[in-house]
């Protein structure tokens, strides 16, 4: 089977983004029968990429590898089971890694035609917006008058969650770590904004709700925030865990990982039943592997919501491929708002 050569950013070592990535020529297989080959023009960054670069994301392939979950580009080749009319179409696509390359294969079920939609906007509607939609509209819809807490509210997922929650008629408490993000989350509709670096967010939530508790919590942080969140979750409430950014702050390898787990505490299933609380773990890679049609459905839905002006994705920055390390460092710093896109 004929192979394709392409340029790609190889993740070759852990740590500093300046040293971690190497622009190299690699070979990829011709697309399988249910795949398409995409000539990539742009790709997106996600916090899981930072975790992978720091050796903290066990789903990532062994180094050296090419990471990346989402691309925009042109379909140039299709497998024998795929409709040939896809050739020449501009698409956004989910990739099971491999996105940091000029060419990538992916399942035909993981692509959506986008015509002339802006690349950065489209990438912001991909992994992060699909994650938000999957949680807030697909798995367990938000209901009117519910009290919702969103951690990392100014990020790519958080900014969409605010908009989806307000559309549903919920009260939104947005948690931020930097005052520069306050105006954005306010503009998106947050009813209460808490800077966790200036005050204890649990106390601020309790004060704002005046004795009531939370109905829904979206937590991409983990660690100690998990135990704290459980204390202020209502019976009938739901907590979504969809990341572990607290782990990326650790500096002592396995000791940091053990401390991360320790801080989360012990969860006993019968305790959840007795309190009538739900904890939902979200790993979009697993959903993409087992139910790609669900990912495609959610992606089509968020693109429609954008076209109908129901949601407004936030673009945190656009970079040339030569600035990949700079973009990675910025994302890791926690000072970004919305999506970071890389253009070849």
Q: Which residue do the tokens 């990020």 mark?
A: 155
| Mean pLDDT confidence for 181-192 | 96
Cα end-to-end distance, the chain, whole Å: 27
Query: Residue 296 falls within a domain, yes or no?
Result: no
CATH number of the domain within which 110 lies: 3.90.180.10
The set of residues, in sequence order, having a beta carbon less than 8 Å from that of 124 and lying 6+ positions away, is 44, 156, 313, 314, 315, 338, 339, 341
Query: Residue 169 falls within a domain, yes or no?
Result: yes
In the predicted structure, residue 261 carries a pLDDT above the cut 70? no
pLDDT recorded at residue 21: 98
Query: Residue 7 falls within a domain, yes or no?
Result: yes
Spatial CA neighbour of 228 closest among 249, 206, 248 = 206
| Containing structural domain, residue 147 | 135-285
Tell me: do 168 and 190 sit in the same domain. yes
Highest mean pLDDT among 37-41, 58-62, 108-112, 221-225: 37-41
pLDDT tens sequence across 164-181: 999 999 999 999 999 999
Q: Copy the structure tokens of residue 270.
A: 């019968």
Percent of the chain scored above 70 by pLDDT? 92
CATH number of the domain within which 185 lies: 3.40.50.720
Tell me: do 195 and 273 sit in the same domain. yes
Helices 224-231, 254-264: inter-axial angle, 10-degree rounding: 10
Tell me: do 199 and 62 sit in the same domain. no
In the predicted structure, residue 249 carries a pLDDT above the cut 80? no
Q: Copy the structure tokens of residue 178.
A: 């930097």
Tell me: do 187 and 147 sit in the same domain. yes
Tell me: do 20 and 142 sit in the same domain. no
Tell me: do 280 and 156 sit in the same domain. yes
Spatial CA neighbour of 271 closest among 307, 240, 227 = 227
Query: Residue 27 falls within a domain, yes or no?
Result: yes
Name the residue with higher pLDDT: 258 or 280.
Answer: 280
In the predicted structure, residue 336 carries a pLDDT above the cut 80? yes
In the predicted structure, residue 129 carries a pLDDT above the cut 60? yes
pLDDT recorded at residue 221: 85
pLDDT recorded at residue 153: 95
Tell me: do 215 and 260 sit in the same domain. yes
Q: Copy the structure tokens of residue 252.
A: 């002592």
In the predicted structure, residue 228 carries a pLDDT above the cut 70? yes
Angle at 166 between CA 309 and CA 162, to 5 degrees: 85
Tell me: do 93 and 118 sit in the same domain. yes
Query: Residue 276 falls within a domain, yes or no?
Result: yes
Are 90 and 74 in contact by the 8 Å Cβ rule? The answer is yes
Tell me: do 109 and 139 sit in the same domain. no
Query: Residue 305 falls within a domain, yes or no?
Result: no
Q: Which residue do the tokens 């609380």 mark?
A: 277
Tell me: do 117 and 215 sit in the same domain. no
Tell me: do 143 and 229 sit in the same domain. yes
pLDDT tens sequence across 4-19: 899 999 999 999 999 9
For residues 69 and 340, what is the distance between their CA atoms, to the nearest angstrom?
13
Are 243 and 220 in contact by the 8 Å Cβ rule? The answer is yes
Query: Residue 280 falls within a domain, yes or no?
Result: yes
Categorize the per-residue pLDDT at 222 as very low, low, confident or very high, splitting at 50, 70 and 90: confident
pLDDT recorded at residue 258: 46
| Mean pLDDT confidence for 53-72 | 92
pLDDT recorded at residue 256: 43
For residues 190 and 210, what is the distance between their CA atoms, to the nearest angstrom?
17
| Mean pLDDT confidence for 132-144 | 97
Tell me: do 65 and 190 sit in the same domain. no
For residues 289 and 282, what is the distance between their CA atoms, to the nearest angstrom?
13
Name the residue with higher pLDDT: 169 or 269.
Answer: 169
Q: How many independent structural domains does the chain possess?
A: 2
Query: Residue 69 falls within a domain, yes or no?
Result: yes
pLDDT recorded at residue 150: 98
Q: What's the length of the chain?
A: 344
pLDDT recorded at residue 244: 65
In the listed set 285, 300, 324, which residue is the last one of a domain according to the structure?
Answer: 285
């Amino acid at each position: 089977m004929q192979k394709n050569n392409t340029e790609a950013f190889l993740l070759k070592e852990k740590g500093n983004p300046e040293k971690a990535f190497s622009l190299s020529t690699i070979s990829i297989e011709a697309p399988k029968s249910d795949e398409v080959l995409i000539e990539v023009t742009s790709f997106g960054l996600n916090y899981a990429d930072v975790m992978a670069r720091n050796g903290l994301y066990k789903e990532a392939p062994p180094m050296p590898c090419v990471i990346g979950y989402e691309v925009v580009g042109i379909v140039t080749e299709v497998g024998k089971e795929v409709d040939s009319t896809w050739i020449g179409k501009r698409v956004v696509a989910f990739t099971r890694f491999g996105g940091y390359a000029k060419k990538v294969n992916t399942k035909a079920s993981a692509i959506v035609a986008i015509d002339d939609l802006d690349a950065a906007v489209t990438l912001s509607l991909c992994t992060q917006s699909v994650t938000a939609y999957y949680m807030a509209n697909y798995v367990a819809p938000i209901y009117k008058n519910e009290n919702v807490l969103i951690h990392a509210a100014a990020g790519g997922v958080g900014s969409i969650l605010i908009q989806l929650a307000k559309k549903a008629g919920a009260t939104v408490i947005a948690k931020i770590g930097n005052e520069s993000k306050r105006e954005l989350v306010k503009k998106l509709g947050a009813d209460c904004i808490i800077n966790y670096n200036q005050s204890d967010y649990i106390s601020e939530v309790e004060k704002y709700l005046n004795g009531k508790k939370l109905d829904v919590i979206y937590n991409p942080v983990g660690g100690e925030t998990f135990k704290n969140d459980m204390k202020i979750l209502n019976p009938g409430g739901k907590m979504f865990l969809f990341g572990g950014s607290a782990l990326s702050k650790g500096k002592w390898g396995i000791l940091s990982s053990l401390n991360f787990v320790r801080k989360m505490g012990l969860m006993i299933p019968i305790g959840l039943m007795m309190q009538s609380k739900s904890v939902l773990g979200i790993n979009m890679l697993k959903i993409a592997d087992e139910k790609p049609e669900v990912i495609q459905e959610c992606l089509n839905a968020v693109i429609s919501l954008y076209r109908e002006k129901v949601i407004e994705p936030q673009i945190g920055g656009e970079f040339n491929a030569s600035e990949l390390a700079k973009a990675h460092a910025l994302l890791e710093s926690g000072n970004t708002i919305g999506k970071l896109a890389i253009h070849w």
